[in-house]
Chains A and B, each alone.
Chain A
Amino acid sequence: MIKLLFLSYVFVFTLFADEPIVPIPLDEPIDIPKAKLGKELFFDTLLSRDNSIACVSCHDIYNGGADNRVVSIGFNGAKGNIHALTVLNARYNFKQFWNGRVNTLVEQATGPLSDPTEHNMDPRKIQERVNLSKKYKKMFKEAYGTYTITYELILDAIVAFENALTTPNAKFDKYLRGEIKLTQDEQEGYTLFKQYGCITCHNGINVGGNSFQKMGTFVEYNATATFPDRSDVTHNKEDINVFKVPTLRNIAKTAPYFHDASAQTLKEALTIMSKHNLGIELSSQESDKIILFLETLSGDMPKILDTF
């Protein structure tokens, strides 16, 4: 009997590979002049039709890189149709947007810029505006060696900045690198995270952001809502309520949670997730421990934000 238990125990744990979470590299190469230029553009309302919003309006990079509103407010007060994702560590996502409709950050950037409810701009307009600026002329010359500023260069600069938006040195990353030890509770939180299967979807460098999963595999979740989910891309009924698994890095800073921003706190989010996707009910203690673990995923602010 004991023997059997022991065997099954061993069986389960021997199937765990190396830690499925990978730390963020400390030495991601960054093209400083381009990134600085991108930062300038990221913060510039010039990139919206009525000069009202900038990229940073909805991606508050000083506070988790996402929007603390349910949906973002764009051009002329228009509302977005989904909760804004964080721009921090976006480079590590396998696809962009909640439904993963594009592969690259360049493609991603064109989305909000041209969306009528967001920046409501077109490439020509952006090009014109940026070309009129002496500041940008100078900066582009410095970064790209040309005074001819094209839309492509503008996007490239923004992406260069976004690529610099990584948050290394999270406590958990340091733990993974063997530099520090987690507290007892954090350690237990991580174990729970694995044992309850959160890790099945939230793994990799971004602790998520590398697969699509259905919101509500176990218990159906809000079937009537019409968010732009994966089925918008695949036109497959099975993909309703399927979204890109969001990153859990800096998750403590990016409330509210989920595509519909239905959870205001991590505890709420954990309750919803464990119910709908894991078919379990977490105890309050378990939730707290997992939250303690999740908090170790908050990393350093991107260095590029300190440079001007």
Chain B
Amino acid sequence: MKLRRIIYFVLVVGVLSSFAMVYFYTKQKAFSENYKQFLSSMYYLENAEETLNYLILQNAIYIYHNHDAIAQKQQEINDTFQTLQTSKILLDAHYKTINLSLEKLQSQIQESNTKIEKYLRFNASVKNSLLFLTRHIDNAAESLKQESCSQECKDIFLNANLILKHYNNATRMQDLDYIKDTKLILSDTAKEKKNIDFIQSFNLHAVFLQEQYPQYIATTKNIFKSHIGLTLQQIRANFTALALSDFKALNAFSIILFSILILFLTTISFLFLIYMRENKKLLETKESLEYSLVYDQLTELYNRTSLEKKLQTIEHPHIMLINIDSFKNINDIYGNSIGNALLRKIARLLENKLSHIENLKIYRLGADEFGVLFTNVLSSKVLNIAHILEKDIASHSFIFGDLEIHITVSIASNHIEPILENADLALKRIKKDPTKRVIEYKESLNLKKSVQENLQMLETIKMALLDDRILPFFQPIVNLKTLKIEKYEALVRLQLTNGRYLTPYKFLDTARKSSLYEEITRIMFEKSMRIAKEYPQYRFSINLAMRDILNDALTKNIFQIFAQEKEVASRIDIELLESEDLHDIELVQAFIDKLHSFGSKILIDDFGSGYSNFAYFAHLDIDTIKIDGSIISEIAINDKKMHMLRSIHNFSHGMDIVNIAEFVETQETAMLLREVGIAYGQGYYFGHPLPAPLEQDEIIFS
């Protein structure tokens, strides 16, 4: 299914983009973490650098100062630099310039450390000498408390203080100018021993200081000239700029990924909706299919399949088949829509009438057939229901607008396996019997036997055809005036293997329902023609049903046979048996014209019985009629039949149609026929059907 494939595709895209998202997210997280780490290290370095400068400044000012903090800060700076240098973010070639700057920074830090180391040394010695000088003056001042001080002493004391002040100022200002101009030592012009000692010690340190100061101050200044701060700022600015472009790229990428994800979510929801809708449709289709598997769409009753399934699952079923009589006519007359509406009404009527009975289900089994399935019920009860139902339906008026339709139904009830087949057989039986409406199947009806017989008969016919045991018998037709045989009617016989013969009443109906019938007809024509050729003194007639004329293959065959023996064909007449299903008069007339062209005559069989229709005679060129045996056999005892005979005779006479009487079995009948003026007679009185015509045209009375 295409939709499903699209969904799979989109899902794959979705999963992939999710993975990409997760991958991207971790990357981005790592990047921003590295970024933050680097930047915080940078900030820390800047901070530490300033703190270090502050500590050194503090150290320069204070005479007593703990160096631990300076050493610790330097160590921290070194460590932080290490983390900076090994920062993962710098692995990217993109940050090459930062790496270069870091190298520069490293040398600056090293340089700075060297300077600090140097500074601390100068600082220590300078401080110590300053301390000494201070203490030296201090001690002298202390001794002044006990001793008097000469002018020389005072001068030296003042000078010493002045010199110390200069050095202190130079230290505080870190400015050599304070000690540049003056020679900052005491002049060794003192005379007092005490003063000479003082000057000696003082000058030792003063000279030392004079020597140390230029380097000391240069070193101190040098420390604060460090470019580390600047380099740090530059690196940070560079790094931020580089990272910013990376962040932009990451952002763009994240927007793309996010869009893909949104798109994916939208698409998947959309597809899901479509899928749901299709699924719903499928479900509906499936439901309706399932429904139609079980239910009849028109009447909403269960259908035949449903019944067949049900029958497999239950024990002791009892079926009642309800068939609408002549439903085809209703459809033909009122149209299919009324027909369908009627079926629905019948379905509702059945439901209504049967609703109070338990353990039953109503089915629609065929176009005009309903079934009611009972379980565990007495046959008598079903039969009772069937009778009531039949009456109810027959008396029910089905109303469609102005239309009021009445119907009758035939009902068959059965509980003997095979349940449906038996019910069907029973139903067929009562369809043939217009007096009965309800039947219950019983083995004693022998319905099955007739089916069996039909099958056996078909087999017999087939075998007979194979063994050439289908043959014509001939019954004489006598001119009632001359009492001479003028014609023979060819009658089909099937010779059984035991030598006995079957009359067409026994097998022709069965044959007619199969393809064997045409073959039989062909054989009859061929064999009759052969006989007719041998007996040129007689005319012959062969039977055809009216509907046979509609069979193209059959008529074609007949005319082919006729064309081969035209002389014989001119002596062959066709006896047409009337039937109700003759519609195409013109086709029949065409057939008759063709026969006439061969010199053949056309004869209506069994006239005066069943469906005799005078209308034929107006349209068809009928040559002869054969008056039905049911009239002939009773003319001697039934005045009405006699009257009918006379009427038919008069009619045929008027129409200039020859007539023949069949079933002439007694002399009395024959005499009566002659009296009326019937032209020909046929029957046992004149002769039984025989395998061949008689050579002589005399009647042999037995």
Contacts and interface: CB of A to CB of B under 8 A. Distances in A.
Contacts of A16: 62-64
A195 B131 contact: yes
Interface residues of B, number: 41
B134 A8 contact: yes
B64 A280 contact: no
A206 B154 CA distance: 43
A17 interface: yes
A308 interface: no
Nearest to A203: B66
A201 interface: yes
A223 interface: no
B421 interface: no
B65 A20 contact: yes
Interface in A233-248: 234, 236, 238, 242
A53 B68 CA distance: 34
A203 B55 CA distance: 15
Given A12-B63, A15-B63, A212 B132 contact: no
Contacts of A25: none
A212 B121 contact: yes
Interface in B52-66: 58, 61-66
Nearest to B137: A8
A254 B114 CA distance: 30
A175 interface: no
Contacts of B168: 11
Interface stretch (B33-41, B122-130, B369-377, B494-502): B122-130
A225 interface: no
B128 A197 contact: yes
A234 B114 contact: yes
B304 interface: no
B174 to A, nearest CB: 15
A43 interface: no
A278 B117 contact: no
Interface string A249-291: 0000000000000000000000000000111100000000000
B334 interface: no
Question: B61, B120, B208: which has the most chain A beta carbons within 10 Å?
Answer: B120
Interface in B196-222: 204-205, 208
A195 B71 contact: no
A34 to B, nearest CB: 22
A20 B67 CA distance: 8
A20 B125 contact: no
Interface stretch (A82-90, A113-121, A143-151, A213-221): A213-221
Contacts of A12: 63, 131, 134, 138
B121 A217 contact: yes
Interface in A187-206: 194-197, 199-201, 203-206
B72 interface: yes
B66 A204 contact: yes
Contact of B128 (A22, A206, A212, A277): A277
A241 to B, nearest CB: 11
Given A4-B161, A217-B125, A279 B64 contact: no
Contact of B120 (A11, A213, A278): A213
Contact of A200 (B124, B138, B141, B164): B124
Given A11-B168, A17-B62, A204 B132 contact: no
A194 B64 CA distance: 8
B70 interface: yes
Interface in B99-140: 114, 117-118, 120-121, 123-125, 127-129, 131-132, 134-135, 137-138
A166 interface: no
A194 to B, nearest CB: 6
A203 B65 contact: yes
Interface in A167-183: none
Binding site secondary structure of chain B: helix
Interface string B131-164: 1101101100100000000000010000001001
A133 interface: no
Contacts of B127: 197, 200
Contacts of B64: 15-17, 19-20, 194, 199-200, 203
B73 to A, nearest CB: 10
A210 B71 contact: yes
A278 B132 contact: yes
Contacts of B537: none
Nearest to A198: B128
A92 B69 CA distance: 12
Interface in A109-138: none
Interface in B443-457: none
Sorting the interface of chain A by its residue count into under 10, 10 to 19, 20 to 34 or 35 or more gives 35 or more
Interface in A36-66: none
Given A16-B63, A279-B132, A210 B161 contact: no
Given A4-B161, A217-B121, A218-B125, A279 B205 contact: yes
A203 B118 CA distance: 17
A16 B134 CA distance: 13
B355 interface: no
Contacts of B131: 12, 195-197, 200
B75 interface: yes
Contacts of A279: 128-129, 132, 204-205, 208
Contacts of A94: 67-68, 71-72, 74-75
B75 A195 contact: no
Contacts of A218: 125, 128-129, 208
Given A211-B120, A212-B121, A242-B121, A9 B66 contact: no
Contact of A210 (B68, B118, B208): B68
Interface string A91-115: 0101100000001000000000000
A5 interface: yes
Contacts of A103: 75, 78
A212 B119 CA distance: 10
A9 B138 CA distance: 8
Contacts of B62: 15-17
A278 B124 CA distance: 10
Contacts of B204: 279
Question: B61, B72, B129: which has the most chain A beta carbons within 10 Å?
Answer: B129
B61 A15 contact: yes
A217 B405 CA distance: 142
Contacts of A211: 67, 70-71, 117, 120-121, 124
Contacts of A212: 117, 120-121
B125 to A, nearest CB: 4
Nearest to A17: B62
A213 B121 contact: yes
Contacts of A210: 66-68, 70-71
B134 A213 contact: no
Given A94-B68, A210-B70, A200 B128 contact: yes
Contacts of A9: 138
B141 A238 contact: no
A203 B64 CA distance: 8
Contacts of A277: 125, 128
Given A217-B121, A234-B114, A279-B208, A20 B71 contact: no
Contact of B161 (A8, A20, A196, A238): A8
Question: B63, B132, B141: which has the most chain A beta carbons within 10 Å?
Answer: B63
A35 B363 CA distance: 98
Contacts of A4: 161
A113 to B, nearest CB: 24
10 contacts: A12-B131, A21-B66, A94-B67, A200-B124, A206-B68, A210-B70, A211-B67, A213-B124, A278-B132, A279-B129
Given A12-B138, A94-B68, 9 more contacts: A12-B131, A196-B135, A197-B124, A197-B132, A204-B67, A211-B70, A211-B121, A212-B117, A212-B120
